[in-house]
Amino acid sequence: MAAETFAQMPSLADGGAETLAWMRRMRDEQPLWVDAANMHHVFRYADVQAVMSDPARFSSNIGRILPGHDPEQISANLPWLDPPDHRRLRQLVSQAFAPKTVVGLRPRITEIAAGLLAAVPDGEFDFVERVAYPLPVIVVAELLGLPPADRAFFRDCADRLLGVGDAGSAEAGSAAIAEANRELREYLTAEAGRQRGSRSDGLIAALTAAELDGQRLSDVQVATIAGLLLTAGHITTTMVLGNALLCLRDNPEAEARTRADRSLVPAALEEVVRQRPPFPRVVRVSTQDVAIAGGVIPAQRLVVASTLSANHDERQFPDPERFDIDRHPNRHIGFGHGIHFCLGAPLARAETQIMLDLLFDEFAELRVVGEPVHNESEYFGTRKMTVFARRS
């Protein structure tokens, strides 16, 4: 799906400037665009929100159009479920991410974040490698109850899922992603089997004991949920931390104010997620002909709703290219919208707020050196960022 379609769009490899200019033109001139692969793209805030608000007409069950997926996995793949199945599974998984559970995690998140910062050298280092990547992966792996020794394996899988490395061609890239998914799934399925009936207090053990429709979840279902949390839970948060440094680099006044008044940290991070959402798009399938954005999307088409474009829509956000930490209300859809609204948002917010606050405490100066390496894949963010840091 992705290869030939997204090749027609500007790449995010330049940090987004070309893509944003293109999206602005699309919002004005072609708010419903059909690409060469017959996928239908919407760009305006109101249209993106409409797609995300209407699971009856815009289904998340991509499997109905892209066959070949294992039904047992699909039954536990939350982002691909529609009501009523979605509601039942979401209820079960969301217990782990209730805002009050996240409040309980804050001391441990702070301890992990402080430990990472204490270990970085003075002077230059790779911010993604030393700070932005490890924090969320350690937190989510602990939450799941996975052994710390396996972190290098997750890193390797995440890199391949992100399309990092020299796959050489789109086909090789897709094969590398499929292989990484398979390895992760096998590992987690074995882990679910190992932890079933154990005394581990992690989420994997809890899921093996949970019931859906009166039946225990299978190892494959538990592995699917765990894999989703492991990948959704760290790649995105890693991106937000790097994106925060870029936004602050470009807006020194906002950095100075946030440093001086830490109560501004949450609003600054919401503005980061608005301007640079790690998930720049969501995909749905039309279940019937739908009139939208001045045209009609026929039934059974893949529909791409651009959260990145919506978050920059001047119809919703005055002066959208301005990084404005006083923006209120800031109804961005970087965490999604509707029934699939990000389940991990309270956790992601806690992790990024704690880390930014500690970065300000630890370093009197924290400067991005040169241009970071931006992802070319579907995640909007950086995979390598050299910073110069001077301790307070």
Q: Which residues bind ligand HEM (CB under 6 A)?
A: 52, 78-79, 90, 140, 228-229, 232-233, 236-237, 240, 273, 277-279, 282, 307, 334-336, 340, 342-344, 347-348
Smallest distance, ligand HEM to C-beta of residue 347, A: 5
Sign of the dihedral defined by the CA atoms of residues 248, 113, 158, 369, in that order: positive
Rounded Cα gap, residues 94 and 89, in angstroms = 8
Tell me if residue 297 falls in helix, strand or coil.
strand
First to last CA, the chain: 48
Contact 343, 98 (CB under 8 A): no
Quick one: 167 or 204, whose CB is closer to ligand HEM?
204
Using the minimum distance from each CB to ligand HEM, give the nearer residue, 242 or 372: 242
Question: Shortest approach of ligand HEM to residue 78 CB, angstroms?
Answer: 4
For ligand HEM, give the closer residue by CB, 27 or 284.
284
Q: Which residue is nearest to ligand HEM (CB)?
A: 344
Burial of 386 per CB tally in 10 Å (0-12, 13-18, 19+): middle
CA distance 110 to 284: 37
* Residue tagged 């932890």 (tokens): 195
Minimum CB separation from ligand HEM for residue 172, in Å? 27
Q: 84 or 121: whose CB is closer to ligand HEM?
A: 84
What's the min distance (Å) between Cβ of 379 and ligand HEM?
A: 9
Sign of the torsion angle spanned by Cα atoms 125, 126, 132, 134? negative
Compute the least distance from the CB of residue 307 to ligand HEM, in Å: 6
Judged by beta carbon, residue 61 or residue 218, the one nearer ligand HEM is 61
Q: Any idea how long the chain is?
A: 392
- Is the backbone peptide bond immediately before 10 cis, with ω within 30 degrees of 0? no
Based on CB atoms, which residue is closest to ligand HEM, 347 or 368? 347
When the beta carbons of 258 and 306 are compared against ligand HEM, the nearer one is 306
CB of 267 to ligand HEM, least distance (A): 15
CB of 24 to ligand HEM, least distance (A): 21
- Between CA 116 and CA 135 the distance in angstroms is 8
Least distance between ligand HEM and beta carbon 165 (Å): 23
- Euclidean distance between CA atoms 126 and 131, whole angstroms: 8
| CB closer to ligand HEM, 148 vs 165 | 148
Token couple for 275: 């301007």
- Asked whether 167 and 176 are in contact (CB, 8 A), the reply is yes
User: Can you tell me the distance from the alpha carbon of 38 to that of 28, in angstroms, rounded to the nearest whole number?
Assistant: 21
